[in-house]
Amino acid sequence: MMLSAWFWLPALMGTGQVQLDEQTTGYLNYANHFRAANLVQPSLLFDYTVDAKLGVFGMGLVQALLCLIGLGLWIGRIKTGRWLIPVLFVLATLLITPLSAPIWQALKPLQLAQFPWRVLSLQSLFAALLIGKIADGSPTRLYGMAMLLLVVMLARLPNERLWVNSADVTPEQLRLFEWFSGNIGTTIRAEYLPKTALPKPVTGPAVLGQTQAVALTGEMAAATQLSAGPTSQQWQITVNSPQAEIVLPLLYWQPWRASSVAQDGSTSAVMLAPNLGSGWVKATLPQGQQQLNLWLDKTPDQRGAEWVSVLTALGLAGLGLWQGRQRFDLRRMAMSALGVVIGIGLMQNVTALTPQTNAAFGDLQTLDFDGRPYPHRAPLQFWAADQPDTPPYTLLSAKITPSQVQAGQAFTLSLQWKDDLAPPQVQVIQELPSGVANADLASRIFRYARSVTPANTSSSQHTALPEAPSGPLLLKLAASDASGKALSATLLTGNPLGEFWLLGLNIAATQPAPEVKPTLREFANGLRLHELDWQQQDGDHVCIRPVWSSPHPIADALQVSIRIRNAANDEVATVDGQPHLGLSPTWSWLPDQMIRDSYCRVPIQNHLQAGDAYQIQLIWYRVSDQAAVGETTLSGARLPEMNGWHVLK
């Protein structure tokens, strides 16, 4: 345990500095995941199937039986400390069962583990010691038991690979995975983000191609990012005013350090602080041109924990050498090493069963939310569901050129089909919000701008949606037979695909701003409202569609609250959120760019009456301190008919 202190100790010590409010709520609460009757799998061969029952997170039946045998042998043959390992094994097992609920309730740090079956990793350590006792002193039993366990563990091991090349594992692809899947930092609820990172980001500057510094106060003439890495950044910044408060697109964390190098070579330390509106790094810089260097240091907790692990490792190494001097069995060590080599060889043979290599699949990159949210290159097959014996159409490659365009510009899609056999009809579908796989989530935002164009030739031209915001624009591909009946999509393995997207098109952040429309309202912070239309979608929901802009860059990720009230000042409908559900945060807006926002499926709290007058209140605010930064009310907003759009402009 002390060996791993460098990892878990800083994590526990730093819980007060990060967001953990949702870490143990709902599905992730430990009480939902105890194992009792399903503690041990019923099958002899370990089952790796991941389903709703999560049987894969149980102990193997053969391993459990061997543990019981080893438990008896350990207690019966060990003279000194005979109860230590058995007791630790039993305790680890109990922590997985409902019997340990009082322990989980009392030890708050333990609840951060979320799933009691995660203690299997600890249980397996003590289980290995118990099972090893069966072969104590008998090489024949050792090798026989090793082969038995290898067969039990590997016989049903899935061998389906994620079709990626080594060149596909890049920071850009990882950022795209986070953007598409919502797993910010590999977690579904953005746990362990700094507490100042509010609202929780769903996209980032690098994804949107807008890595820019913003001056909160003072005058900044220029800012250029010279380099950026996981633990360091360099900026060239010119300040014209006596000093300027600059916000950089980097989440603040206490260990970040900074220094400024002036033109004369002098260096001075720069104090960093979080920007309340976004959680980004904020620094005050003096007048002149300077290079700002940032690097991630270690916290005192990290340094102390690392020393704990180092000293523990040295102590264990010394203990091992001292014991080895008394009892050194070269033959046993050699046979153990041979067993490890054999095990590794078997693993490689099992995972090498994939029939073809990734290099065969060119430019095809797809995403599917349910199974493979990381960009992969697996060929796609299209089948006629009612004709299972008919050979499928196999898509080998999909290339988009150019890979970056401005909204409303043309691009070319080139498709390569196996044996040049393509489905009778192929369509390219663009729709906003791009890449949002959850239909219910998607229905709450955007105007559902949509484009469906044919791609029945090997190379076809299409036009990017004029309303598309900067960032990735994913394409859907639909195939049908000659009668127009949709074909089903699968991977080569036959695994069905639901919705999937083609990757490779990006909307440039430098798109020219359209002509600025007349301003309906201007907020105190400079944001402008140009239009607002709304309608009653059905008896229970309304849709509100504002059009925003800003004359200057914004350093904050602001949120807007929209409230519809009737003549009696009763709230009819209320919605809070970031533009486009956070996909178009205010810090990403270009000066004078029209942001066509939407808030749909907003629940109606009180009955709407056609012809009545309503007020619509709009409040921009910071999430961190709930402080309003701009507010206005539109009066006399009448709903002319139940399903018509009422436009205020």
State the greatest distance between any 2 C-alpha atoms of the chain, in Å, as a whole number: 95
Phi first, then psi: give them for residue 601, nearest 5 degrees.
Answer: 55, 35
Taking phi over 0 as left and psi of -120 to 50 as alpha, with beta for the rest, 522 belongs to beta
* pLDDT given at position 515: 67
Are residues 606 and 548 both part of a single domain?
A: yes
Q: Residue 575 forms beta bridges with which residues?
A: 562
pLDDT digits (tens, 9 = 90+) for 478-505: 999 988 999 999 888 788 888 899 999 9
Are residues 459 and 542 both part of a single domain?
A: no
Are residues 484 and 584 both part of a single domain?
A: no
Which tokens belong to 561?
């609250």
Task: Return d(Cα 239, Cα 283) in angstroms, integer.
Answer: 12
Q: How far is CA 493 from CA 50, 356, 358, 366, in A?
A: 17, 12, 14, 16
Are residues 439 and 464 both part of a single domain?
A: yes
Are residues 105 and 211 both part of a single domain?
A: no
Asked which of 455, 476, 507 is the last residue of a domain, the reply is 507
Which tokens belong to 475?
């394409």
Where do the H-state alpha helices sit in 368-409? none
Are residues 480 and 538 both part of a single domain?
A: no
Number of domains in the chain: 4
Q: Tell me the HSE value of 226 on the side-chain side, using a 13 A CA sphere.
A: 11
Question: Residue 426 sits in a domain of what CATH number?
Answer: 2.60.40
Task: Return d(Cα 214, Cα 218) in angstroms, integer.
Answer: 10
**β-pairing, 571-577 with 559-565?**
antiparallel
Is 181 domain-assigned? Answer: no
Least trusted range by pLDDT, from 60-74, 174-188, 351-365, 578-592: 351-365
Asked which of 507, 531, 563 is the last residue of a domain, the reply is 507
Taking phi over 0 as left and psi of -120 to 50 as alpha, with beta for the rest, 182 belongs to left
Is 176 domain-assigned? Answer: no
Are residues 480 and 576 both part of a single domain?
A: no
Is 179 domain-assigned? Answer: no
Are residues 240 and 368 both part of a single domain?
A: no
Are residues 534 and 502 both part of a single domain?
A: no
Phi first, then psi: give them for residue 306, nearest 5 degrees.
Answer: -65, -40
Are residues 410 and 478 both part of a single domain?
A: yes
pLDDT digits (tens, 9 = 90+) for 386-443: 777 788 999 999 999 999 999 899 999 999 999 999 999 999 999 888 877 666 666 6
Are residues 211 and 116 both part of a single domain?
A: no
Q: Tell me the residue range of the domain where 56 lies.
A: 33-154
Which tokens belong to 566?
């009737």
Which tokens belong to 68?
């019981």
Is 62 domain-assigned? Answer: yes
**β-pairing, 506-507 with 404-405?**
parallel
pLDDT digits (tens, 9 = 90+) for 351-367: 443 444 444 456 789 98
Could you tell me the strand order of the sheet in which 471-472 lies?
404-405, 506-507, 471-472
Is 326 domain-assigned? Answer: no
Which tokens belong to 395?
């898509």
Q: Using a cut of 0.75, tell me whether the model's pTM lies above it.
A: yes
Phi first, then psi: give them for residue 55, nearest 5 degrees.
Answer: -65, -20
Is 83 domain-assigned? Answer: yes
Which tokens belong to 261?
């190098």
Average pLDDT, the chain: 86
* pLDDT given at position 553: 92
Please give the average per-residue pLDDT across 543-568, as a whole number.
92
Please give the average per-residue pLDDT across 175-186, as a whole number.
84
Is 512 domain-assigned? Answer: no
For residues 378 and 163, is the Cβ–Cβ distance under 8 A? yes
Is 374 domain-assigned? Answer: yes
Asked which of 507, 531, 562 is the last residue of a domain, the reply is 507
Q: Which amino acid is at 120?
A: L
Q: Which amino acid is at 544?
A: I
Question: What is the DSSP-derived secondary structure letter of residue 452?
Answer: E
Among 2-11, 235-244, 368-377, 541-550, top mean pLDDT goes to 235-244
Burial letters for 58-94: b for 16+ Cβ neighbours within 10 Å, e otherwise? bbbbbbeebbeebbebbeeeeeeeeeebbebbeebbe
Phi first, then psi: give them for residue 107, nearest 5 degrees.
Answer: -95, 95
Tell me the helix, strand and coil percentages in the chain, rounded to 5: 30, 30, 40
Task: Return d(Cα 488, Cα 497) in angstroms, integer.
Answer: 8
Are residues 627 and 562 both part of a single domain?
A: yes
Question: Residue 225 sits in a domain of what CATH number?
Answer: 2.60.40.1180
Question: Residue 625 sits in a domain of what CATH number?
Answer: 2.60.40.2550
Q: How far is CA 379 from CA 31, 313, 502, in A?
A: 41, 47, 12
